[in-house]
Chains A and B, each alone.
Chain A
Amino acid sequence: MKENERLFEQLGEVNEEFIVEAAPKARIRRSGIKWAAMAVAGAAAAGVLVWQTGALEKNTKKPDEGKTSHVMEFPDDGSEPEKIVSSGEIDHGGAGSYTLMANDISQIIGNNPTREGSSFTKLPVFNGVINEFGEFDKDGDGKIDEGSEEKYKELRMDELNRAASFFTDKEVWINRDDDFGIEGAAGDVRVSLYGYGNLNIDFGTPIELPDEYKIRTMNNGKTIEESEKSVQYICDKYKDLLRFDSPEASIVENYDIYNNCNTGFYAYDKSDDPLTALINYNFNSADFRTDEKQIVDDPDALENPYDGFEYSGDLAHIGTSSRLDYLEFVGNYPIISYDEAYEKLINDPEAYIWPENLPDGLKKDEIFYAGIKYERTADYKYRLPYYMFYVEVHPEREGIYKLPEGRKEYEPAYILAVKKDYMEFPDTEVAFN
């Protein structure tokens, strides 16, 4: 047996905690319908009206219908919501959970509408209606609805057809349709839809952007303001697809150790209503990527692997997140204030939801508030709001590696926003324990 094969086999024997931690979450069958129904029933019993997004119907609408950017209302009759049974731990596989390297915090902080502060005392909490197998229990009786899987497949097909119809007249052919998601192609436009309504559209032939709006995912070479204009242009061009009324760009730049600058181009539907803006930021957003064409056989063999690619600056990918379509409102929950969250971050190591270990002795000038962020809990039950911070970390002090001159490294840190009085922590925290 070759050395690499032996290494591959021995990797199979590593600590089980690492195996559980990295389990491909989207395929895990959960007993979620049971808890979803219980939570919804509980909310109803407590006198809270269950708000339906109507999204299952929305997906069947034609391209020119279905604006989503109305002011959102989450009914609140003042009664106490049911306790949330969850550890509150974040699913580590989620977005925004990575150490970022930048010259300055402004490159990575993004445009969360609550970044500059907010006055919420309560926020809505959501849970999943549809499990990873496309089954759902819409009437909340605790049983999977008969024929729900077929119905959901039909709805997903409608969504893929709708997406493809903006770019081609060709019919969508399905390549794969299983519990992981649905993937298809119409001509050289690939469309896919995964678990929680994340739609991806990839163009075999990139869509040409005007010179002034060309952007590059890697080594963009543009200012954040220029990149924002490009995103605005794309949002305007595809406004019917995105269904945004007031697109707001959010640009994030992150360097790697080879000095490449990786830019994330995001947008969400802004609103003058603070709650609608926050919900849209978290559940009604889009991301755009440009093409990257491999020009050498083995880029990893190069000193800088990204020298092995070339970029035209044209649009190769549109991703939309309509996860609220697949979620159900549980109730409005009292939340701690920003000041309380900040205090917990500084003085209460037990309060960190993630990461598990932040450096001791956090300095106030090395902590940056990024706004309120909804994250999926590790037990797959809820989307809970968290106060999100970036904390400057110092890998060179821990001997991990030396940062290039002028670079800083930031780690996201989350503090659960829902007051702990409304949480009930179960004994088991992950689906497969």
Chain B
Amino acid sequence: MTHEGKKVLVVEDEEPLQQALRDTLSREGFNVLTAKNGDEGLKTALEQHPDLILLDFVMPKMDGMTMLKQLRLDGWGKTARVVILTNLSDNEKIADAMNSETFDYFVKSDTKIHELVKKIKEKLA
């Protein structure tokens, strides 16, 4: 398992969703870090340099879009892998995210959690 021990940062303000992702990803052998807003997420990301960031869009304090933009200003963060996890299907925001060279985005309610894990594994393989 090549993904074993890889660091995944989950930036998600919704506790139940964060926990579901944390539990499932841990089970699969990932080293899971969590943050409950963009502010925390940015700090953790820049400190820990995770292999992948799962980023929610709508969050208090600092939203996902702002965090992504700030992340891209950083030398390491410029090329960090980010997957957008959202429940918005607002085109403009997603288009914005794509401009920041995000790898992928998923609409949470339309995506099975195990499918999501599979995709993450593929990305980190």
* A and B associate in one complex: no
Instruction: Give residues in B with beta carbon < 8 Å to A.
Output: none
